[in-house]
Amino acid sequence: MIRTHTGQHGDGCFGCKIQTVQIAATATPTRGGAAVQAQKQREKELVKDLDAYKLMRKEGLHPNATKGAHKMAQRAESTFEVESGKLAADSSRKLLERKGLGPEKDPNGKHYRKRAQETHDEIRSTGRVNPVA
């Protein structure tokens, strides 16, 4: 700490202590601007995610994370999607893109979702996966 005033400096020196005080932008909402608005938006999203997570847990589902739980609750159509944290439509689209196919082959991930759910159910019931021939 750099002392800019003269005289005795002890542990109780108010001039030295006041130099270290900082005020966060969130403590002054009328002066924070974009940073405060971004923080408020993150808090709103977090509240939505936590509420959705609680609801899914009450329904007996096991979401893999709280972040994004609101989106998952709205768009997921199977327990596999909720518990893996991956939406079939998104995963199907990425898989088709890697294979060089267009999304029209499986636009909503219906076939991908069916295969993934069957495998998920098999794992939950038997504890293992039978290899696909």
120 to 5, 30, 58, 81, 95: CA distances (angstroms): 70, 51, 20, 10, 18
Cα 129 to chain center, whole Å? Answer: 29
All structural domains of the chain with their residue ranges: 33-126
Q: What is the pLDDT of residues 73-123, one digit of tens each?
A: 888 878 878 888 887 777 766 766 676 666 566 665 677 777 777 777 777
Q: How far apart are CA 126 and CA 128, in angstroms?
A: 5
pLDDT band at 69 (very low <50, low <70, confident <90, very high): very high
The model carries a pTM of 0.54
